[in-house]
Amino acid sequence: MKKHTRLIALLMALALVLAACGDGDDATEGTVAEDGGLICEVTDVGGVDDKGFNASAWAGAQRAAADFGAEPKVLESQAETDYEVNINSFVDQECDLIVTVGFLLGDATKEGANSNPDQSFTIVDFAYGEGEIENDNVKGLVFNTDEAAFLAGYLAAGVTETGVVGTFGGINIPPVTIFMDGFVRGVEHYNGIKGTDVQVLGWDPDTQEGSFTNNFESLDDGRAFAQSLVDEGADIVMPVAGPVGLGSAALANELGTFSIVGVDVDGFEADTNNSGVYLTSVLKRIDNAVFDAADDALNGEFTGELYVGTLENEGVGIAPYHDKADLVSDELAGEVDALRDDIIGGAVSVSG
C-alpha cells in the first residue's frame, strides 16, 4: 500500500515537472488551440510548385505551421471554377486561416468571407474596397513591386549591351502590370541620368498596353514571347507570368544570348535548372506576409488590416546578382543601392 502511494506521488510530481517545462522557452512561440490548428492554402492555376508566388505563400504557411504546431494543407486549383470549390472545402474543415493566392481569387474569396463571417482569410495580391467585405475577416496582402522593379529596370539599363531590354506579362491585371510599370520607369530613370536611349519592348506604362500570353501556365508561350523580344534585339527579358517565365529562362539557358530578370522569388535559387541566366529577381516576400497572418490567426490576434510590402519594410526588393555579378560594375551596384535609399526617402518617384 505504501509503495502504491509513493508511486502515485511520484507520478504526480513528474506531471508537475513536465507541465513546468511546457511553460518554458516554447511558450514564446505563441499559444495555439489544443488540436494544433490548420493553415490552408488555395492556389491559383499555377500550382504550388510554380517556383513563384504560390510556392512562396506555401513556404510561409509551412513555416508558420512548423513554428506553431499547426498542420499545413493545400488545394491546387486546376481551373478558375475550382476556386470556390476549394475555398468551401477548407471552410468545412474549419481552418484557422485560409490563404488564397492571387488576384484572380478575389471574387471567390469575397464570397467565401461574406458567407462565413467567423472564418479568417488572407489573400495575396488583392485589396478590397470599403464595404466589399462585410466583416473584419479578410487580410489583403499587396506589394509595391514597382519600387523593386524600378531598381531592376535601372540595373538592366546599366548592363544591356544591345541597348534593348524587354518584358511581357501573363494576364493584364494590376499585380502583373505593376512590375512592368516599375521596370520601364527604372530604365527611363537611367536614360535621364546617363543621357542614354535604352529601349524597353513589350510594355508602355502610359497607355497600359503591351505583350501578354493571357495565361500563367504555358512554358511554350514563355519561350515564344522571349524569342520574339530577343529577335528584336533584347538581351535582358523580364517575364511577369508565373510558370510561363520558366520557359523563357530555359530558352535563355539554351541560347546563352540573353539574361532573365525573375519575379516574386529569387529565380537563381528557385529555378535550379536555369539558375545561371538570372541577372536578378524582383522579390515579393509573400512568405513572410503569409507567416505573419498565420501567426495572428493562430494566436487570436487576426484582423483585416491591409498589409503593404515596400522597399522600406523589406516586403519587396531585388535578389543578389549571383552568377551575373561580373556584369554589374561596382559603380552600377552602388548606384542601385543609392537609388533604393532615394526611393525610400522620397527623393525619387517610381511613378515617373
**What pLDDT is attached to residue 222?**
98
* Cα–Cα dist 153/145, whole Å: 12
* Cα–Cα dist 45/54, whole Å: 9
Residue 183, domain member (yes or no): yes
* Cα–Cα dist 116/133, whole Å: 11
Percent of the chain with pLDDT over 90: 89
β-strand 209-210 against 203-204: which pairing, if any?
Answer: antiparallel
Residues 155 and 194 in one domain: yes
Residue 172, domain member (yes or no): yes
Residue 63, domain member (yes or no): yes
> Does residue 340 contact residue 311 with C-beta atoms inside 8 Å?
yes
| Summary mean pLDDT of the chain | 91
Q: How many structural domains compose the chain?
A: 2
In sequence order, the 6+-apart residues with CB closer than 8 A to the CB of 185 are 146, 150, 153, 205, 350, 351, 352
Residues 87 and 184 in one domain: no
Backbone angles phi, psi at 137, to 5 degrees: -125, 15
* pLDDT tens-place string over residues 182-222: 999 999 999 999 999 999 999 999 999 999 999 999 999 99
Residue 66, domain member (yes or no): yes
- Residue 246 CB neighbour total at 10 angstroms: 24
β-strand 278-284 against 259-264: which pairing, if any?
Answer: parallel
Residues 222 and 303 in one domain: no
Residue 245, domain member (yes or no): yes
**What pLDDT is attached to residue 228?**
98
Residue 40, domain member (yes or no): yes
* Cα–Cα dist 342/280, whole Å: 20
Residue 303, domain member (yes or no): yes
Residues 189 and 208 in one domain: yes
| Residue 79 belongs to domain with CATH number | 3.40.50.2300
* pLDDT tens-place string over residues 81-121: 999 999 999 999 999 999 999 999 999 999 999 999 999 99
Residues 161 and 217 in one domain: yes
The whole domain housing 234 covers 145-283+321-345
Question: Closest by alpha carbon to 123, among 26, 50, 44?
Answer: 44
Question: Closest by alpha carbon to 140, among 156, 155, 123, 153?
Answer: 123
Q: How confident is the model at residue 64 (pLDDT cuts 50, 70, 90)?
A: very high
Q: Is the pLDDT of residue 70 over 80?
A: yes
Q: What value does the mean pLDDT take over residues 149-175? A: 98
- Give the HSE-up count for residue 85: Cα atoms under 13 Å, Cβ half-sphere: 9
Q: Which grid coordinates belong to 69?
A: 504546431
* pLDDT tens-place string over residues 26-52: 322 333 444 579 999 999 999 999 999
Q: Distance between terminal CA atoms of the chain? A: 87
pTM, full prediction: 0.87
Residues 292 and 187 in one domain: no
Residue 25, domain member (yes or no): no
**What pLDDT is attached to residue 352?**
73
β-strand 164-169 against 236-240: which pairing, if any?
Answer: parallel
Q: Is the pLDDT of residue 310 over 50?
A: yes
Residues 171 and 217 in one domain: yes
Q: Is the pLDDT of residue 293 over 60?
A: yes
Residues 210 and 111 in one domain: no
Q: What value does the mean pLDDT take over residues 121-145? A: 97
Q: How confident is the model at residue 23 (pLDDT cuts 50, 70, 90)?
A: very low
